[in-house]
Structure 1
Amino acid sequence: MEFPIAGVTINPLVLIAIGFLVGILGGFFGVGGGFLAGPFLFWTGVPVNIVVGTDLAHMTGKSIVASNRHRTLGHVDLKLGVIMILGTVTGVELGAQLIELFEEMGNVDLIVGISYVIILLVISAFTAWESIRAIRMIRSESLDVKDVLAFQNITKRMHGIKLWPMVSFPGSGILSVSLWVVLGVGLLSGVLAGFLGVGGGFLRMPLLVYLIGVPTHVAVGTDLFEIVFSSGYGTITHALKGNVDIFIALVMHTGAAIGAQIGAVSTRFFAGPRIRLLFSALPLIGAILVIIRLISGGEGI
């Protein structure tokens, strides 16, 4: 099938399969999936600028489907999501400014790449370590719970900050936390996303769980709710620049819509620590892809 905007011919079944796979991952883990969809699209011959915009467009549609399904399951804290968006948007702009600063210094690709690898490896290692401890805790203490954290020191410290105004998030089971803590977490994820050039799902889900204390299932759904707006904004800006092949995005969404439903519903059958343990593999894969990019000098992504 020929896609005139991107100027390529691709088997639509391949695009549907890519969308389906990324949809499952997005619905289950609360990530955009750009780290997988992007390289796949590039390898099919789509120009890099079209890859970015088209991936954001497909990501928006998939996240709408997945977040809506999570909402019906009670896994979306709308109040938390809206506040986080405010901090995230500001952070993305700051991250973009950092990129410009490093561009003036030179070697921006190397600096961003190394930062990306370090951050993703830390997230992967910590999440795997904590989730394994949590699973062992549930087994040894025979706990009948869907979610538990084995490491709560950071969460307790965040909740111990009594800086007015204090807010509650009934949807996440959080009675009281400083508004500035929530905005700060959103700002941090936004800065990292803007600096590293990723959607932020890798970053927000662990930050929501370990810093704010949001249950894993709710963190997944709320993260997807945020992605709808962040990727939607990105889609509009790229579309105005001619970087979106809407036909490729729609074909991918055919598979992604189904995959997102499956991924979202599947979270019902996994306890929080097991979702986090499986999630820990994703940042590791992302880090490996970046290492390959750095070694190859930017080829093959």
Structure 2
Amino acid sequence: MEWLMYIIAAIVGFIAMVSGGFWGLGGGWLIVPCLLLMGVPLPVAVAASLLQMIASSFYTVLRQFPHIGWEKGGWGWTVAVPLSISSFIGALFGAPLSNLMERVFHSHLPHQCFYIVILGWILIKFLSNDDNAADNKPSMSVAKSITIISVAGYFIGVLAALLGIGGGSMTRPLMRLVVNVPEKTTAQIARLSFFLTALSGSVPYLCDTTMPYSYVAGIAVMLSIGGMIGFPLGAKMHHIVLSAGKQAFADKGFAMVLGIVIFSIICKITGIVLVGRIAIIFSGLGLLAFLIAITLKSKSILKKMKGISAS
């Protein structure tokens, strides 16, 4: 039944990276729990998740890189550069920290608790975020912004590599609510940041001589096949939804799905594995259906807007 696991991995990669392309996330928030529920060992799940992010997002990141804002004082220099560099450095320490926790606690429970805390924090941020409150102007001095971004980016990189996520779920609230970066630019910077974080975060795992490389490669390749289709599709869907002014509604929907993911991880910790698997499957399928629905609705709104402007 190993072939079935690889097919499921490709499907999971597609679903996760549609959301990844849409919000500028790495998809690890869904991929790692799914792999764990399928019985994949934690180090393998984290390594495979990080590797697929590199392949899935490379083309989109390369295409959007020139549009981040590289003029003097632009978001590229004040946010993208310090965030990317600090998270890249921080991600190098994710795997060593994971190994240390494993030796100390002799369990994966701390990792799973980390998931609950991080996802819970993201859930609260998405529910409380008010996009209408942002005026898309810098909310602080350049020096203060760079300092906050650099320090936060380092710890985000460490946590991202530890948990096998891209870190976009943490950098998004940081950029939107603290530094007041516009939504479109936030997504572009988040994609660049998690690409570099995944790049550096995967190195320590691959340098581990105990890692079953062929097993990791097989899962990562199948995740990437789905992800390379899903990520650019998600980015295109995000552009459509944003153009129609429906971003806030989409964020609230994502928050509800996060609640299901948190529930599934709690089920894993408490031993109710079957319930957790069902929850994670429905959350992924529900997320995909929701994004398709909101995109189609947004396309309809844009057509009406064009019709009105033409008349």
Global fold match (TM > 0.5): yes
The verdict on how the C-alpha distance between 1:82 and 1:237 changes in structure 2, with shifts beyond 3 A counting, is same
CA shift for structure 1 position 253: 1.9
Shift of residue 183, structure 1, vs aligned partner = 1.2
Aligned equivalents of 1:57 and 1:78: distance in 2? 25
What 5-or-longer segments of structure 1 have no aligned partner? Answer: 2-7, 132-147, 168-176
Q: Is contact 2:36-2:42 (8 Å) kept?
A: yes
Point out the structure with the larger helix share.
Answer: 2
* Shift in Å, 1:26: 0.9
Give 1:122 deviation, angstroms: 3.5
Task: Give the structure 1 partner of residue 303 of structure 2.
Answer: none
CA distance in 1, matches of 2:228, 2:94: 31
Q: Which position in structure 2 is the counterpart of 1:292?
A: 267
Q: In the alignment, residue 296 of structure 1 is paired with which amino acid? A: G
> Contact 1:41/1:51 (CA < 8 Å) preserved in 2?
yes
Aligned match for 2:32, one of 28, 38, 61: 38
The Cα of 1:262 is off from its aligned counterpart by 0.8
Q: Check 1:237–1:91 CA distance in 2 against 1; reply closer, same or farther (3 A cut).
A: closer
TM (norm. structure 1) is: 0.69
CA distance in 2, matches of 1:114, 1:11: 25
Residue type of the partner of 2:148?
V
Could you tell me which residue of structure 2 aligns to residue 267 of structure 1? 238
Query: Aligned residue pairs: how many?
Result: 262
- The verdict on how the C-alpha distance between 1:204 and 1:107 changes in structure 2, with shifts beyond 3 A counting, is farther
TM-superposed deviation, 1:111: 5.5
Q: Which runs of 4+ in 1 moved over 6 A?
A: 93-105, 297-301
- The residue aligned with 2:19 is 25
RMSD across aligned positions (CA): 3.8
1:145 maps to none
Looking at structure 1, the residues matched to 254 and 34 of structure 2 have their Cα atoms a distance apart, in angstroms, of 20
- Residue 261 of structure 1 deviates from its aligned partner by 1.2
Matched-pair contact (CA < 8 Å) for 2:33–2:265:
no
Unmatched 5+ stretches in structure 2: 70-74, 278-311
Kindly state the Cα deviation for residue 228 of structure 1 after the two structures are TM-superposed: 1.4
Structure 2 counterpart SS, 1:31: coil
Q: Are residues 108 and 159 of structure 1, via their aligned partners in 2, closer, same or farther at CA, if it must alter by over 3 Å?
A: farther
1:261 alignment partner AA: P
1:108 Cα shift?
Answer: 7.8
Return the match for 1:68 from 45, 62, 67.
62
Matching residue's letter, 2:126 = T
Matched, 1:189 2:189: no
Equivalent positions of 1:50-129 (< 5 A) are 50-71=44-65, 74=67, 78-79=76-77, 80-92=79-91, 113-114=112-113, 116-129=115-128
Residue pair 1:267, 1:275 contacting (<8 A) in 2 also: no
C-alpha distance in structure 1 between counterparts of 2:161 and 2:202, whole Å: 15
How many percent of aligned residue pairs carry the same amino acid?
24
What do residues 246-271 of structure 1 show as CA deviations (whole Å, max 9, x unaligned)? 23322332221111111001111223
Alpha-carbon deviation of 1:223? 1.1
CA distance in 1, matches of 2:60, 2:102: 36
The answer to whether the 8 A contact 2:92-2:201 is kept is no
Matched-pair contact (CA < 8 Å) for 1:124–1:282: no
Work out the CA distance in 1 between the residues paired with 2:20 and 2:154: 22
CA distance in 2, matches of 1:129, 1:297: 30
Whether 1:49 and 2:43 are equivalent positions in the alignment is yes
Secondary structure (helix, strand or coil) at the match of 1:214 reads coil
Confirm or deny: 8 A CA contact 2:14 2:231 kept in the other structure. yes
Pick 1 or 2: higher relative contact order, CA cutoff 8 A, min separation 6: 1
CA distance 1:88–1:285, shift in 2 (3 Å)? farther
- The residue number in structure 1 matching 2:169 is 202
Distance in structure 2 (CA, Å) of the matches to 1:17 and 1:97? 30
In the alignment, residue 288 of structure 1 is paired with which amino acid?
A: F
Go from structure 1 to structure 2 and tell me whether the alpha carbon gap of 1:123 and 1:235 turns closer, same or farther (over 3 Å shift). Answer: closer
Secondary structure of 2:133's aligned partner: coil
Give secondary structure in 1 for the equivalent of 2:17.
helix
Assess if the C-alpha contact under 8 Å between 2:53 and 2:166 holds in 1: no
Paired letter, 1:225:
L
Q: 1:260 to 1:12 in 2, by over 3 A?
A: same
Equivalent in the alignment of 1:136: none
For residue 106 of structure 1, report the CA deviation from its aligned partner.
Answer: 5.1
Q: How does 1:252-263 map to 2 (within 5 A)?
A: 252-263=223-234
Structure 1 residue 56, shift from structure 2 partner? 1.6
